[in-house]
Structure 1
């Protein structure tokens, strides 16, 4: 099966909306498990399944229509109160949602029909739903539409193409076949296309008929009669005047639906093929006229003679009532193409750079320039806010993970989510999902004890896993907390000595011991399970968090539980930085890492250390680290930065002040550089490197340890 190129945009929109609906299905099923029958969750997921099924039919995705129909039937029984919600039912429906998602995700890749493995998987899942289907809903297959079961009167305008006879087709044979579908009550032969006798070509077809047909067959079956002549003929099939009232009543009695196409197809007045053709015409006309909004599909259906205006008006009225009931929510959000949004962010970045050059150009800035700078700052915040999304959607996805893992492990764990309305950059949300997934699975497997063990220690048999998000000093913090057994310090040390990560005589703080779990291949699990124990994953978590300019911390108490805290910047596009100079070079230190600046004292306590109000503060000379030529400044300054509770000084020649920094990636060639996270363009056109404080401090500590021979 293939679609016309002009339909691709509509299909892409369908995929985008279907993804949202699939997510609603999964979240609703998990919520439904804890609700009484007939709750809002049941109604919401029923509507989501119904919408997926109806929209799939517009594109002829029969496999998706057929499968979703069965899921919708089961949900309908739940909504009516005839089928109780049980863990078994939810466990049977959740894999079906995954299968629907798999079929939807295959559409952008060109898989518009199922392969053998997908068909087998679908059949297996549907067999699991059979115990929940009533006898009336037992058939698995579903027709393309649900036409009225009573006889309906149709009016057919048949104008056969001029080459019909040459192609071996007999127009009268089509009329004879129509009589087998029902009763032809009236036929009129139209002669307006007949030329003068002298000009007639005996091989050319000039025939046209107006036919009234009463039949119980659906419109699609009537259309199929003319498949062989449809390409060069004008075939129009519309409900007769006597049937209009019946269709209008049927449409008004239909359930909620905010898509006019779904309403018309479900009523039987329009077929999927006709709707697909109307959508194609809509796309072409909208593009040709250069309109911002598409031409109304109802107008095209009437203009093409596909359906009478009375039926379109009834469908529009049904759509309008449904849309109005949701308008208070829908008008608050708008879907923005990611590429356009990224382009806006890039332009804002260039604007910020231009703004900084305005300040460098002269010491006196006019009032107008000050106003421009203020507006630039507001535009920057507004543009960045477009990419900010609540993290709650990502955190709620773990409800399914917790449920599945607990069923596999035989544990009882409740998931508590707080701070779901905390916003962060959409790019960060997408890239933090996998690290969070591993942390959640690790907490469920290693952290939370089985019910029997928890009882022995006086705990509730049901464990608790908390996901919390909040803003802190220009960062977003995500915490994964369990009330399990906690980390075993001695066991971690023994494993580290065994793997020769540390020497037996090494004296480590608690934080240093617990950070050993992020070493590659490190695991204290006695057995390997499907979930964990292979020593892979935690090092990947730390590496991925570091790639996002973030940090990760561990807090644990034996027998009480563990908290793993991820700290990330709010955005990956623009940051507030502190500009420093070292010789001819400039560097940006993320402002949220800077605690204070002091002058470098003349005396040192020892190897690269200074006395800061009675505290021993190690420092890093950026000139030596980056091999910058030239002599040191007579008076040097120390920028004190803090990372994971560790304070370190950065020795620089000059302090140049705060600066809004547009982050530019370094490219593949510099991807292995540890201490630099990016670059930026200063107002005078020069390049400044952005320091990655975490790896910078860690790398310095490793070199100091190596130099001391520890």
Structure 2
């Protein structure tokens, strides 16, 4: 198997392991509700068994050892020797987290357990000990396989002058080496011997160069000299002609980011030698010299031959290149790919039909229309490849709700609906953190303690509902609880107290509830481990705004609160409405447009107009973007709506609906407000895409609304 094949296989293992661990967590939570579900127990056992087997193929011994113990516990459950209980589920859930952490470590290039992972693993295994039956004792952590390949080592030994005085006979070390392998050649180094009259019989002047053939690992050979290491010079390197073996081993290793890790895993150096080289590196850095590369130090100290270091450096560079080129993978339904391929075939045929007609011939317009129809279908079909059900993301909160309820001593049922609704995979991955904040806040601040619910005549068990559905080209996600609801007066009072709102200001319910998203805002008197510091809700709104979404609060005192998030289905293409202001063009997201009207003549110099008895404030794009030129005699108003607030965009021309391919603005314009991206028009010009949320929030004053 080539290096590329091995890397691809490891990537596949990581992807499948992540999915298996997600299934493992969901299965455990389901098993707690239905302890007698044998199918669930079998599925959990198979998950750990599969993980253990796959990890063993890649030599991931720390994963094999840990999953073996978890598998043993689940086998006891499967055989009926161990009953399912809340305590067992509580012990197994963090084990899944630990395996997930180790898998992510493998994804980052760490093929061995870190010290912290080892400590965490030992703690979790100790927690599993009570659930292991006498017939299934706790399996010890598997050791690395012994090295059984014979290699020739060149040992250069210069014992310290006080070795004999300290009771260390150099020949005893040679005799011990002979029990581990064959001393093919021993050359005595006598260059340090003084003249006979100057010799001290208690001083060691001798050294040795030994060609040693053994199947022992380098670290085992190094351990022989533990007692004389500090005052002796000891070098253990592959003999001439043996370096090629280590080069081949390094080339066959999985990708690693660090040079030291590659050399240690190949067996060419030991952890102690790497530590010594790093110490030399730091000492030279402290003396003011430039920091020398680790590889140069290893070669300079004759710890490892140069060809071996060069091979490791080449592997390290290859790892860095593959990391930079790493792409995410997504599973696609085969029928969607088949449909896309069929559409592309139809498009090719339709394009050929257009080519055989002249523009003035009969049938040309029909053929051209068919091409445009197929292009539209190809677009929709291609976008569907990135669409995934949101249910997987929502089901992850079953674990969150369980753990938080244990911490808060509350009983809350999680109800998930609409999990089949699909959205862009990029959105699914980025909406998780905002939803986590909302779920934790709902459990902490929304749902009341048991005693309070009982006094109010509510069911002791609270309810938290996660719902998702499609609506007008968007996806809506709701986080709803049946708790105490938001206290309008308390929120407004806290805002006045902090100087965020002037006393006596008249505010709508929407504006008051929107205050909870301000940075640092909190009405909680005591801070808990979960929330109450005023950190999180502002992050929720900011993260959702970055996804071109909005969040709305619906609440009823004593009945509960619903947070409604509205997001586009995809971040790649949107339906837009194209407008013109002077020579500039702008795109307004079509789902924010409610209607278009002509600007009344008497509103030319005002900031609002009356539209069917309602005051509609204006946002003049010409003024905001400082566009030169004189407005035309007839202008238009595009009525937009954002979180229940309506406003009118004053523009020169209405250019109609436009399929908009979103292009990012780049780092230079990352701080630009009211603009979410750009697109390229058919004539090659650039049109800016308006970010309606900040545009309305920053440019519509309360005075305009109340005129």
d(CA) in 1 for partners of 2:625 and 2:605? 22
* Deviation sequence 1:145-179 (CA, Å, 0-9, x none): 9xxxxxxxxxxxxxxx9x99999xxxxxxxxxxxx
Q: Quick check: 1:626 aligned with 2:622?
A: no
Residue in structure 1 matched with residue 377 of structure 2 by the alignment? 378
Residue in structure 2 matched with residue 643 of structure 1 by the alignment? 642
d(CA) in 1 for partners of 2:517 and 2:34? 40
1:630/1:95 Cα in 2 relative to 1: closer, same or farther (>3 Å)? same
Residue in structure 1 matched with residue 573 of structure 2 by the alignment? 574
Residue in structure 2 matched with residue 528 of structure 1 by the alignment? 527
* Deviation sequence 1:188-225 (CA, Å, 0-9, x none): xxxxxxxxxxxxxxxxxxxxxxxxxxxxxxxxxxxxxx
1:166/1:462 Cα in 2 relative to 1: closer, same or farther (>3 Å)? closer
Higher relative contact order (CA 8 A, sep 6+): 1
Q: Quick check: 1:565 aligned with 2:561?
A: no
Of 321, 331, 335, 1:335 maps to 331
Residue in structure 2 matched with residue 101 of structure 1 by the alignment? 100
SS in 1 for 2:59: coil
Q: Quick check: 1:679 aligned with 2:678?
A: yes
d(CA) in 2 for partners of 1:505 and 1:562? 26
SS in 2 for 1:366: helix
SS in 2 for 1:138: coil
The answer to whether the 8 Å contact 2:576/2:590 transfers is yes
d(CA) in 1 for partners of 2:67 and 2:153? 44
d(CA) in 2 for partners of 1:386 and 1:69? 37
1:680/1:82 Cα in 2 relative to 1: closer, same or farther (>3 Å)? same
- The alpha-carbon deviation at position 5 of structure 1 amounts to 6.2
The answer to whether the 8 Å contact 2:573/2:660 transfers is yes
- The alpha-carbon deviation at position 6 of structure 1 amounts to 5.0
Counterparts of residues 11-90 of structure 1 (less than 5 Å)? 11-90=10-89
The answer to whether the 8 Å contact 2:647/2:700 transfers is no
Residue in structure 2 matched with residue 700 of structure 1 by the alignment? 699
Residue in structure 2 matched with residue 137 of structure 1 by the alignment? 136
Q: Which stretch shifts more, 653-662 or 33-42?
A: 33-42
SS in 1 for 2:33: coil
1:38/1:465 Cα in 2 relative to 1: closer, same or farther (>3 Å)? closer
d(CA) in 2 for partners of 1:502 and 1:564? 23
Q: Quick check: 1:615 aligned with 2:614?
A: yes
- The alpha-carbon deviation at position 85 of structure 1 amounts to 1.1
1:129/1:374 Cα in 2 relative to 1: closer, same or farther (>3 Å)? same
TM-score computed with the length of structure 1 as normaliser: 0.69
- The alpha-carbon deviation at position 599 of structure 1 amounts to 1.0
d(CA) in 1 for partners of 2:618 and 2:585? 18
- The alpha-carbon deviation at position 227 of structure 1 amounts to 8.8
- The alpha-carbon deviation at position 567 of structure 1 amounts to 0.6
1:95/1:570 Cα in 2 relative to 1: closer, same or farther (>3 Å)? same
The answer to whether the 8 Å contact 1:37/1:78 transfers is no
1:449/1:166 Cα in 2 relative to 1: closer, same or farther (>3 Å)? closer
d(CA) in 1 for partners of 2:503 and 2:436? 34
d(CA) in 2 for partners of 1:166 and 1:64? 32
d(CA) in 2 for partners of 1:574 and 1:6? 35
Residue in structure 1 matched with residue 594 of structure 2 by the alignment? 595
TM-score computed with the length of structure 2 as normaliser: 0.69
- The alpha-carbon deviation at position 624 of structure 1 amounts to 1.2
Residue in structure 2 matched with residue 119 of structure 1 by the alignment? 118
Counterparts of residues 240-251 of structure 1 (less than 5 Å)? none
- The alpha-carbon deviation at position 367 of structure 1 amounts to 2.7
- The alpha-carbon deviation at position 462 of structure 1 amounts to 0.6
The answer to whether the 8 Å contact 2:550/2:566 transfers is yes
d(CA) in 2 for partners of 1:144 and 1:664? 52
**Aligned residues: CA RMSD:** 3.5
1:368/1:453 Cα in 2 relative to 1: closer, same or farther (>3 Å)? same
* Deviation sequence 1:622-660 (CA, Å, 0-9, x none): 111111111111111111111112221111111111110
d(CA) in 2 for partners of 1:9 and 1:229? 32
Residue in structure 2 matched with residue 214 of structure 1 by the alignment? none
Residue in structure 1 matched with residue 515 of structure 2 by the alignment? 516
* Structure 2 unmatched runs, 5+: 155-212, 218-247, 254-328
d(CA) in 1 for partners of 2:143 and 2:137? 17
The answer to whether the 8 Å contact 2:676/2:690 transfers is yes
SS in 2 for 1:616: strand
1:54/1:227 Cα in 2 relative to 1: closer, same or farther (>3 Å)? farther
d(CA) in 2 for partners of 1:69 and 1:472? 47
d(CA) in 1 for partners of 2:402 and 2:592? 38
Q: Quick check: 1:669 aligned with 2:668?
A: yes
d(CA) in 1 for partners of 2:567 and 2:82? 45
Count of aligned pairs between the two proteins:
523
d(CA) in 1 for partners of 2:662 and 2:402? 40
The answer to whether the 8 Å contact 1:38/1:79 transfers is no
- The alpha-carbon deviation at position 39 of structure 1 amounts to 2.6
* Structure 1 unmatched runs, 5+: 146-160, 168-225, 231-275, 282-332
The answer to whether the 8 Å contact 1:605/1:611 transfers is no
The answer to whether the 8 Å contact 1:61/1:113 transfers is yes
SS in 2 for 1:603: helix
The answer to whether the 8 Å contact 1:32/1:39 transfers is no
1:363/1:522 Cα in 2 relative to 1: closer, same or farther (>3 Å)? farther
